[in-house]
Amino acid sequence: MAVRKFNPTTPGQRHKIIGTYEEITARVPEKSLVYGKKSSGGRNNQGRMTMRYIGGGHRKMIRIVDFKRNKDGVPAVVKTIEYDPNRSARIALLFYADGEKRYIIAPNGLQVGATIMSGADAAPEVGNALPLQNIPVGTVIHNIELRPGQGAALVRSAGNFAQLTSREGKYCVIKLPSGEVRQILSACKATIGSVGNSDHALESSGKAGRTRWFGRRPRNRGVVMNPHDHPMGGGEGRASGGHPRSRTGLYAKGLKTRAPKKPSSKYIIERRKK
């Protein structure tokens, strides 16, 4: 994996930094695992805009990704590594021994032709999914479940990884990418290795149009609005609008928004770094 920089032959090329896509081995997705994505443009079922700065963009197909990894004990061969427009990570197409096909998030180092497996009996090797209780302490992991059988909810974006640091009774202690240290039930599954496409963080669109292809419309700042449009709007000239806050009046810098009596707080050993 690497990134490409371009000679500034046009204004759009000057700041453009994109991936090399050298790990991609197929251009067309598996037909049985895709369906059309309906774009909302930020409107609800009444046609009213409820989310701003959404609209346009290239047509997309949803790839059905297997986050549960519940096909235990059946080996699978990695057939292709593919681009997915709906996420920052790459996806890998698996051909199982019984004929079924599934997509998974492609971890770093997974090669076409590799054999992977899920279940309690699987070896702790890159791409294998197994319960936390069967993973050695200190292992780098991703695609972590919060409840057994629910499917992976944590550590799914490009370049991310967590670490299994210790065990306490029926819980495992996990250090997450944010710096948060929390307990997760040992029966929950996780996948060995870190998520691939780690250079995604270095990419830069280079021009506004490329960002529009992703369906993101221009975002204007609160301080340039009128008072009835935003709490930070108004003032004579280029007055900056007081304490940073959201459009709904919520402080944007430093205010803790987590519910103080949230039940899952008892599982958090150390809060994330600011």
Distance CA 113, CA 111 (A): 6
Map out the domains of the chain with their CATH numbers. Answer: 3-201 (2.40.50.140)
Q: How many CB atoms lie within 10 A of CB 193?
A: 23
Cα→Cα distances 90→107, 151, 200, 247, Å: 8, 18, 10, 35
Residue 62's DSSP bridge partners are 35
Tokens matching residue 235 = 């003032």
Q: Which of 44, 60, 64 is nearest to 52 (CA)?
A: 44
Q: Which of 28, 34, 41, 151 is nearest to 102 (CA)?
A: 34
pTM tops 0.85: yes
Q: pLDDT 10s digit of each residue in the chain, 274 long?
A: 689 999 999 999 999 999 999 999 999 999 999 999 999 999 999 999 999 999 999 999 999 999 999 999 999 999 999 999 999 999 999 999 999 999 999 999 999 999 999 999 999 999 999 999 999 999 999 999 999 999 999 999 999 999 999 999 999 999 999 999 999 999 999 999 999 999 999 999 999 999 999 999 999 999 999 999 999 999 998 888 788 999 999 998 888 888 999 999 999 999 987 7
pLDDT of residue 239: 87
Q: How many CB atoms lie within 10 A of CB 9?
A: 8
- DSSP track, 103-130: EEE-BTT--TT-EE-BSTTS-S-TT-EE
DSSP state of 224: G
